[in-house]
A and B are shown apart, each in its own frame.
Chain A
Amino acid sequence: MSNRSIVALKFVVFPACLIPLAVLVYQGFTNSLGPDPVATITHTTGFWTLYFLLISLAVTPVRRLSRRLAWLIRFRRMLGLFAFFYAMLHLTTWVWLYSNFDVHEMVHDIGKRPFITMGMLGWTCLFLLAATSTTWSIRKLGGKRWTMLHRLAYVAATAGVIHYWWIVKTGVRTPWKVTVVLAVLLLARALWWAKEAVSKKKVAVTA
């Protein structure tokens, strides 16, 4: 895909990523957030954090399917940053609507409630990833170290899925779909690495 069409496509993808927020805002203004607006806002921002994380983690495995999909990598940073954007909104609902800015209460909750601890862990990972997402950071850190650091994306996604399992009631299995998607994406990477390791060995043997 040409550079020009990638840029053009970005102008479409960027506003599309804002649709979930736009819908929330629209619902807020038309008083149609449902019977439990706080829960609607929390769940929507939480789900979209997970969805954007999974979509950005899908970029690499999908790209590896064909050389012709290499351009997808140009969208990964934007998708990842949107994951952080929705995570930020999700955290804000907790800080504001649930905790009413009570710092003492929040610190207590982070220490005491495993699902919040896990959520904060995921958020912290996303924060580090977002903070080092600039081209300047890549240069400053060096490609290798930057790549290592950005493996935190796996930690963030795993923490997000565990965070989800720990908030639903025992016996409820709704988080299974995102769990399967995450498992498939991680497995795809494991298989790729295994394949790489084998072919490297072969190269070593023949050389």
Chain B
Amino acid sequence: MLIRKPSDIPSSEITSKSDYMNRRKFMTGAAALGVAAFGADRLKDIASPGEGVHATEKLATIPSKYSTTGVAPTSFQDITTYNNFYEFGTDKSDPSHNAWRLKTSPWSVKVDGEVKSKKVFDIDALMKTHPLEERVYRHRCVEAWSMVIPWVGYSFSEFIQQCEPLSSARYVQFLSLDNLQEEPWIRTVDLHWPYSEGLRMDEAMNPLTLLTFGLYGQTLPNQDGAPVRIVLPWKYGFKSAKSLVEIRFVKNQPRTTWNESAPNEYGFYSNVNPNVDHPRWSQKYERIIGAPFWKARQPTLMFNGYGDQVASMYQGMDLRKDF
């Protein structure tokens, strides 16, 4: 078995800490130019002490047959500074400034609902029960931008076996941390908290469904959903719930946060589909994060390019209706 060491990651792909910090200097310079009479928000960001990438640990990973090939990963810097994680603010850069408040240790994940018996998994134990794979996946946000991310984790189906669900379990619900002390921005957004997402059982069992602990060969930075999240590469990004504290096996389709907020815009399935527009914008194209602005536009693929592995689950369904 080939143990891929973190040192195998080409250093060119990782932004050095000094470069990363210099980004702040640039921001400070821009503010000093007096550009933003309206930019009091920015000043607050600059003054914030705990910005940036948080302490992460290196992880030993093995390669995966489910990894997407022939794609260039998005830079570590972009993956860790351009996030939708509304518990830490609604601006893309907010989570990288604010997520230092998240306490990821100790951490445990509760499993309940239609299971043989309720269980609580400690994060350290959870990371050791299966070999961690490096899986490069495309990531398509419903806002029509995309990244390529080298995640670290193992198939969620492996975890389901440990949970011993009953035959009555037809759906899985994922619940994210809902803690006003650590995530005070929750108050600023009118959504039904805690953030809840869900899958049909067959979707949860699909080998692509990744229980994720890291990216770029290290533990997840807080802003990317530390210490454990789900990743569903064929669905819009918001389906991939972050910072999971509870996983429920349930009989009926669970509530899902964005679907509750705007059911005409965000379906339960939310599979990436260039043929079904979001009511407010087209999904035919996406902007590649990190690309120069004149060549950032690329066509979006059905099921984000994972049709071979997932299309069969939706056979016979009207994907315009069950979007």
Residues of A within 8 A of B (CB): 19-20, 23, 28, 31-39, 41, 47, 51, 97-98, 100, 105, 109, 113-115, 166-167, 169-174
Q: A97-B293, A170-B265, A171-B191 are in contact. Are A32 and B26 (CB under 8 A)?
A: yes
Q: With the chains together, A38 CA to B296 CA distance in Å? A: 8
What are 23 A-B pairs with beta-carbon distances under 8 A? A19-B34, A28-B293, A32-B26, A35-B78, A35-B81, A35-B82, A35-B92, A36-B287, A36-B289, A38-B293, A41-B293, A51-B38, A97-B297, A100-B297, A105-B282, A109-B282, A113-B281, A169-B258, A169-B261, A170-B265, A171-B191, A172-B189, A173-B189
Most chain B CB within 10 A, of A31, A36, A113, is at A36
Q: Does B6 touch A at the CB level, under 8 Å?
A: no
Residues of B within 8 A of A (CB): 23, 26, 30, 33-35, 38, 74, 77-78, 81-82, 90, 92, 145, 188-191, 258, 261-262, 265, 279-282, 287, 289-294, 296-297
Closest B residue to A31 by beta carbon equals B292
Closest B residue to A167 by beta carbon equals B280
Q: With the chains together, A155 CA to B35 CA distance in Å? A: 27
- The number of inter-chain residue pairs (CB within 8 angstroms) is 72
The interface residues of chain A lying within 8 Å CB-to-CB of B289 are 35-36
Instruction: List the 7 shortest-distance A-B pairs measured between CB atoms, nearest first.
Output: A35-B82, A37-B293, A171-B190, A35-B78, A170-B262, A35-B289, A171-B191
The interface residues of chain B lying within 8 Å CB-to-CB of A109 are 282
Q: A35-B82, A37-B293, A39-B287 are in contact. Are A171 and B189 (CB under 8 A)?
A: yes
The interface residues of chain B lying within 8 Å CB-to-CB of A51 are 38
Question: What 20 new A-B contacts, CB under 8 Å, besides A35-B74, A38-B293?
Answer: A19-B33, A23-B33, A34-B82, A35-B92, A35-B289, A36-B92, A36-B287, A37-B293, A38-B287, A38-B296, A39-B287, A51-B38, A98-B297, A109-B282, A113-B281, A115-B280, A169-B258, A171-B191, A173-B188, A174-B90
B84 to chain A, nearest CB (A): 9
The interface residues of chain B lying within 8 Å CB-to-CB of A28 are 293
Q: Are B261 and A171 in contact (CB under 8 A)?
A: yes
Question: Chain B interface secondary structure, helix, strand, loop or mixed?
Answer: loop
The interface residues of chain A lying within 8 Å CB-to-CB of B188 are 173
B78 to chain A, nearest CB (A): 4
The interface residues of chain B lying within 8 Å CB-to-CB of A97 are 293-294, 296-297
Q: With the chains together, A171 CA to B195 CA distance in Å? A: 13
Q: With the chains together, A78 CA to B81 CA distance in Å? A: 37
The interface residues of chain B lying within 8 Å CB-to-CB of A113 are 279-281
Q: Are B293 and A23 in contact (CB under 8 A)?
A: no
Q: With the chains together, A143 CA to B230 CA distance in Å? A: 64
B20 to chain A, nearest CB (A): 13
The interface residues of chain B lying within 8 Å CB-to-CB of A47 are 38
Closest A residue to B77 by beta carbon equals A35
Q: Are A36 and B145 in contact (CB under 8 A)?
A: yes
Q: With the chains together, A205 CA to B282 CA distance in Å? A: 61
The interface residues of chain A lying within 8 Å CB-to-CB of B78 are 35
Q: Are A36 and B261 in contact (CB under 8 A)?
A: no
Q: Are B190 and A173 in contact (CB under 8 A)?
A: yes
A95 to chain B, nearest CB (A): 13
Q: Are B189 and A39 in contact (CB under 8 A)?
A: no
Most chain B CB within 10 A, of A28, A37, A100, A167, is at A37
Q: Are A36 and B82 in contact (CB under 8 A)?
A: yes
B40 to chain A, nearest CB (A): 10
Q: With the chains together, A33 CA to B26 CA distance in Å? A: 11
